[in-house]
Structure 1
Amino acid sequence: MANLIVHGGKPLSGTITPSGNKNAVLPILCATLLTDEPVTLRNVPAITDIEKLVGFFRELGSLIDWDREAKTMRLDHSDLGSDFDPQTLPQGMRSAVLLFAPLLQRFKEIHLDSNPKGCALGIRELDPHLEILTCLGAKVDHNGELKLSIEDTFKSASHWADYMSVTTTETFVMAAATGSGVSTLTNAASEPHVQDLCRFLQSMGAKIDGIGTSVITVTGVEKLQGTDATISSDHHEVATFLALGAITGGHVKISDSVPQHFDLINRSFAKLGVNISYEGDIAVCEANQSLKVQQPFTSNLLPKIEAAPWPYFPVDLLPPMVALATKADGVMHFWNKVYEGGFAWLPELVKFGAHAVVSDPHRIIVFGQRPMRPAIVEAPYIIRAAVALYMTAASIEGRSIVKNADPIRRAHPQFAENLRKLGAEIEWDG
């Protein structure tokens, strides 16, 4: 595991271009298995989860040409074998469940030796995926190993999900895209990366209605074709670098910033005294903004930022906002409505001198502008929490170490390089 060495206390300023959206490219890569025709993907980030998927595809017999410098990948799955070794299924990544539907559509039967797992946010259910696949005609047998099968293709069905799960919604659209008849999912997730997958499938010939809403209808087609598609910018990374500018007092510009996704995110920045403006599709955080918690009209309630499935404020962006709140004048209440382990990293933040009170597994209160000091902290296996610890270190004069910060590389392949462009003194140790 690698450590981040941070020399903080310097305003970060400059212009960067964000990476392609990790949460979009992973399901899109899985969806390429649904066609035998060549697919070209652009703006592909060189992250570890993609490396694992590419290795898995090559084990299956796929031809892949990945130009990492140009961020372009060409895939051809036309010569896959008749089966695959379940031991080759990518391990240590939650998104491996997104392979279930395309593998079933291609091989009709798959056997899995273990449940894919992800980060340390909390319990990550496999049941909703199996429920969706069963609803669409798959047979599930769990007797020591997990066996999934379909007779010919997925069948049409209507399903009302228990909650808005991103990966379950993506499993649904991939399964139904080449299924028979018309299928509908109610209580579907609508995050930008879900929308990206749906539009990618449309570019392959899929018929999908309701993109960006909580009800998605898919009319199955017999065959999907090849396509040439570009991965959109990662709105999480855009927000993260804007927060880095704000917490260090720097002037940061982010190109290709997908501003249409930022209305609520920008209002949450404003609650902490940070104004985000735009020059076309360039997002701007001006220098030396006065970080001050804005008081609500209902003065007997604490100001709060609450996160839940889109179109709520994104749960993944709570940690950078928590870090920002430690530097703001005032008290802010944070509520994570999704993950019971979302604030388990707070003891590490406190090592910097931050004052944060854990109300329960889903809620915390941060008291800002407490005296802060450099520290050696341990990053959890949560991407944005590791980033938040770096943000805090970057805002404090002196040398800090964020140990075991590798999770950052899962989402930000050019993290240190981008930070150096902004003037950061940062290095990887290991």
Structure 2
Amino acid sequence: MDLIVNGGSPLSGTITPSGNKNSVLPILCASLLTNAPVRLLNVPAITDVEKLVSFFTEQGSRITWDRAAGAMTIDHGSFDADRLQGELPTGMRSAVLLFAPLLHRMQKLTIPAKAEGCSLGIRELDPHLEILEKLGAKVSSNGTLTLSLKNGFVGARHWPDYMSVTATENFVMAAVLADGESTLINAASEPHVQDLCEVLVAMGAKISGIGTSKLTVTGGKRLRGGTFTINTDYHEVVTFLALGAITGGEVKVRQSLPHHFDLIARAFAKLGVKVEHDGDTAIVRRKQKLVVEEPFTTNLLPKIEAAPWPYFPVDLLPCMIALAVRAKGAMQFWNKVYEGGFTWIPELSKFGAHVVVSDPHRIIVFGDRPLRAATVDAPYIIRAAVGLYMVAASIPGRSVVKNADTIRRAHPNFVENLRSLGADVEWK
């Protein structure tokens, strides 16, 4: 689907963001670790959640989901492993998060060797397979990928090459019911990884080091159910603050999790945007001047570097890039994670943006150039599609962001929220 955008008007108002996509997906997968009922609140009605729910029900699990209220109850007591014919949910990288939970239940899993996701470059399975092998699984591949356990997972120590969010989550889900103690050094510590760990602890798991790069898990025999609330999506908080800033409006976002915002607020400040907090409400005031902040070392370009947490989140770079297109001055952006993270940049030139791609990981944006309404093609990258919309919303006239429905993978009420802020936008 395409976004039809009539831009040039300030967006102002108050938004309540949805639950975090990157939290709810691993937590849904972790619900497979118990037969006790699990109730989740603030569940976003997004396509990836729909796919997991369909997958669970196809295997016999009982799920009730009040989409309007965001409440879901999951009961895997009737999950039938014999129904699974090897196909995991398609079109979502998060399907890899089913590896450890399904192995706990089935002891053997045979699946196609390719897992699809967004267009951010190579998303390898090796870190996941190394962790599962380290904890006692046998891995073989001959056209299909076969994972097997003899007597369940066994505690172990592992130090991967780099921090991987989903590999860390697979490690935790494998280790919580393993025999003995497991340690992961170089663990990812993103807020959504912390959310998964906190839910597992509430279910009875023993995990120490949450929020750090070293996780220690003491395995147990079983987990209990419970009721858990999915935390706010800080990506969505940043998105709507950035939309207020780029259009010159005033936007307030409730439930903003201020303790995650120190570095994010600094990135906004580098582009001339001040983010305020009133309790848990984040605010961008109207008519802020977008000007790149000059560094003290004036012979170097100002820059925003994105890497695994606690660096600036790489998924939020497109929002900052869109702001830089409108800001006076030049800003370098460095994506230290994905080699395909800037493939969408040529679409910005259709608006008249001046962006130089230095290499697959670095770009320089020369902002405050004359822009024009345009038709652009969004990649299958959620926040890149959002970034293209942001630029379109700042330009008077009619623009079209084609194939923008990937946004729905993370933002269940994107257009509805935009309209509540005064945007003239529709899906077509």
2:162 and 2:73 map into 1 onto residues whose CA distance is 35
RMSD of aligned residue pairs (Cα, Å):
0.7
1:334 and 1:47 map into 2 onto residues whose CA distance is 29
Contact in 1 for aligned 2:15/2:417 (Cα 8 Å) = yes
1:29 and 1:72 map into 2 onto residues whose CA distance is 13
Matched, 1:78 2:77: yes
Q: Secondary structure at the match of 1:66?
A: strand
2:399 and 2:267 map into 1 onto residues whose CA distance is 28
What is residue 206 of structure 2 aligned with on the other side?
207
Distance 1:84 1:146, change over 3 A: farther
Q: Secondary structure at the match of 1:83?
A: helix
Matches within 5 A, 1:3-402: 3-402=2-401
1:4 and 1:76 map into 2 onto residues whose CA distance is 37
Shift of 1:143: 1.4
Deviations 1:150-199 (A, max 9, x none): 11211000000110000000000000001111000000000000000000
Count residues in correspondence.
428
Q: Secondary structure at the match of 1:55?
A: helix
2:12 and 2:167 map into 1 onto residues whose CA distance is 39
1:228 and 1:97 map into 2 onto residues whose CA distance is 24
Amino acid at match of 1:177: V
Amino acid at match of 2:289: S
Amino acid at match of 1:198: C
2:272 and 2:89 map into 1 onto residues whose CA distance is 42
What is residue 421 of structure 1 aligned with on the other side?
420
Shift of 1:87: 4.7
Contact in 1 for aligned 2:113/2:141 (Cα 8 Å) = no
Shift of 1:227: 1.1
State the TM-score, normalized to the length of structure 2: 0.99
2:115 and 2:202 map into 1 onto residues whose CA distance is 29
Amino acid at match of 1:242: L
Q: Secondary structure at the match of 2:422?
A: coil
Shift of 1:275: 0.1
2:14 and 2:331 map into 1 onto residues whose CA distance is 29
Shift of 1:27: 0.3
Amino acid at match of 2:127: P
Deviations 1:384-406 (A, max 9, x none): 00000000000000000000001
Shift of 1:206: 0.4
Amino acid at match of 2:171: F
1:46 and 1:35 map into 2 onto residues whose CA distance is 23
2:132 and 2:109 map into 1 onto residues whose CA distance is 13
Shift of 1:24: 0.4
Shift of 1:247: 0.2
Deviations 1:203-253 (A, max 9, x none): 100000000000000000100000100000001110011000000000000
Distance 1:309 1:417, change over 3 A: same
Amino acid at match of 1:215: K
1:247 and 1:164 map into 2 onto residues whose CA distance is 32
1:362 and 1:146 map into 2 onto residues whose CA distance is 31
Contact in 2 for aligned 1:59/1:88 (Cα 8 Å) = no
Shift of 1:84: 3.6
Q: Secondary structure at the match of 2:334?
A: strand
Deviations 1:247-270 (A, max 9, x none): 000000000001100100000000
Matched, 1:412 2:411: yes
1:359 and 1:336 map into 2 onto residues whose CA distance is 12
Shift of 1:48: 0.3
In the TM superposition, structure 1's runs of 4+ consecutive aligned residues that sit over 3 Å from their partners are none
Contact in 2 for aligned 1:308/1:337 (Cα 8 Å) = yes
Contact in 2 for aligned 1:54/1:64 (Cα 8 Å) = yes
Contact in 1 for aligned 2:87/2:111 (Cα 8 Å) = no
1:183 and 1:386 map into 2 onto residues whose CA distance is 39
Shift of 1:88: 3.9
1:154 and 1:228 map into 2 onto residues whose CA distance is 27
Contact in 2 for aligned 1:86/1:113 (Cα 8 Å) = no
Q: Structure 1: give runs of 5+ residues left out of the alignment.
A: none
1:28 and 1:329 map into 2 onto residues whose CA distance is 42
